[in-house]
């Protein structure tokens, strides 16, 4: 089982955060601390790193491996509580950089007991925060066919959403849905035979159910707005996303905060008057070939960076 997480686009992330000696930074998605470890190398003796993750195993890992470093604090929480977390740990209430590396970590995906993988047999769980009551299986049992199909379509862009939802409910009625492999087979059988072997047919549905169970898009919307309250002038917000729904939210947010609408660009109006909060930092959206060679997860990653103005 993979217990480590190879951080995605590490060099690009560290460069994009533009880390200052003595600054305060927030790693909102600690995972196994791959990015955190490298942020700590750059913040000097008086810098501070606030790390957040809602996963209990991430908390234990942080405690075992990072707690001796006095510049480091860890908060097991949803990152959508960013403002209150910053208030708790940081007197100045402003931070110089915020990192979001969205989605699941390799240890979450690779541990069959967490139920995130359609390749490994385990309970149909998919909770990042195991204190939440709603597992994926419980939701599939409680929800009706139409609502399940809607989620598969909305968050997975799954063409066979209705057929899959119907098969899932039928399997539940017959007590045939217990494990991730049962679910994966049910989904696969809803695909025409000719389409079953390209990409695993369960990919989109598992993604959709995971996004729903962990409220991933709502969490993202909430934290982006809060970033504006806590980021210091010149501070950077760096976001890595892994699918188009997330990336669209990040892109729209940065555009809304960095592009003045209905104001001709040649007028002598300040950014403050235009009510602009951010400047887009132009970097390549995708990982470099070397970054993909180092970490294959980087293949589907997109990175966006903005600076507080």
Residues that bind ligand SAM (CB under 6 A): 5, 7, 29, 31-35, 52-55, 58, 78-80, 101, 103-105, 128, 219
Task: Tell me whether residue 33 or residue 201 sits nearer to ligand SAM (CB atom).
Answer: 33
Instruction: State which residue, 104 or 148, has the beta carbon closest to ligand SAM.
Output: 104
Smallest gap from Cβ 132 to ligand SAM, in A, equals: 11
Q: Which two tokens stand for residue 82?
A: 């960013």
Q: Minimum CB separation from ligand SAM for residue 177, in Å?
A: 25
Q: Give least dist CB 17 to ligand SAM, A.
A: 12
For residue 73, what are the CA distances in angstroms to 89, 128, 152, 184? 8, 20, 37, 39
C-alpha 295/C-alpha 14 separation (Å) is 16
Label the pairing between strands 302-308 and 278-281.
Answer: antiparallel
Comparing CA positions, the residue from 278, 298, 284 lying closest to residue 237 is 278
State how far the Cα of 156 lies from the Cα of 133, in Å rounded to an integer.
Answer: 23
In the complex with ligand SAM, the residue whose CB is nearer, 184 or 226, is: 226
List phi, psi (to 5°) of 75: -125, 120
291 contacts 7 by C-beta, under 8 angstroms: no
Cα of first residue to Cα of last residue in the chain, in angstroms, is 44
**In whole angstroms, how close is the CB of 163 to ligand SAM at the nearest point?**
30
Write down the least CB distance from residue 107 to ligand SAM, Å.
8
Task: Compare residues 149 and 239 and give the one whose CB is closer to ligand SAM.
Answer: 239
State which residue, 168 or 240, has the beta carbon closest to ligand SAM: 240
Closest distance to ligand SAM from the beta carbon of 8 (Å): 7
Please count the other Cβ atoms lying within 10 Å of the Cβ belonging to residue 39. 24
Give 130 or 181: the residue with its C-beta nearer to ligand SAM: 130
């Amino acid at each position: 089982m993979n217990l480590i997480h190879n951080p995605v686009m590490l060099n690009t992330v560290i460069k994009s955060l533009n880390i200052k000696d003595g600054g305060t930074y927030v790693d909102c998605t600690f995972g196994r601390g791959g990015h955190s470890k490298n942020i700590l190398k750059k913040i000097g003796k008086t810098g501070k790193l606030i790390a957040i993750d809602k996963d209990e195993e991430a908390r234990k890992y942080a405690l075992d491996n990072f707690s001796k470093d006095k510049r480091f604090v860890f908060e097991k929480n949803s990152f959508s509580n960013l403002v209150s977390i910053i208030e708790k740990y940081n007197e100045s209430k402003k931070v110089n950089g915020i990192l979001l590396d969205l989605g699941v970590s390799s240890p979450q995906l690779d541990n069959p007991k967490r139920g995130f993988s359609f390749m490994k047999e385990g309970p149909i769980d998919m909770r990042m925060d195991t204190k939440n009551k709603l597992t994926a299986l419980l939701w599939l049992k409680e929800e009706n066919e139409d609502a399940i199909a809607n989620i598969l379509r909305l968050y997975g862009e799954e063409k066979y959403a209705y057929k899959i939802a119907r098969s899932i409910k039928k399997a539940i009625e017959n007590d045939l849905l217990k494990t991730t492999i049962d679910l994966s087979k049910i989904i696969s059988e809803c695909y025409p035979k000719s389409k079953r072997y390209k990409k695993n047919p369960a990919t989109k549905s598992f993604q959709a159910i995971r996004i729903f169970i962990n409220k991933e898009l709502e969490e993202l919307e909430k934290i982006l707005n809060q970033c504006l309250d806590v980021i210091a002038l010149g501070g950077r917000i760096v976001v890595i996303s892994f699918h188009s729904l997330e990336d669209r939210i990040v892109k729209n947010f940065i555009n809304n905060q960095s592009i003045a609408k209905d104001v001709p660009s040649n007028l002598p109006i300040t950014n403050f008057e235009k009510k602009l909060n951010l400047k887009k930092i132009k970097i390549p959206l995708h990982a470099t070939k070397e970054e993909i060679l180092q970490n294959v997860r980087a293949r589907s990653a997109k990175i966006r960076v903005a600076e507080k103005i």
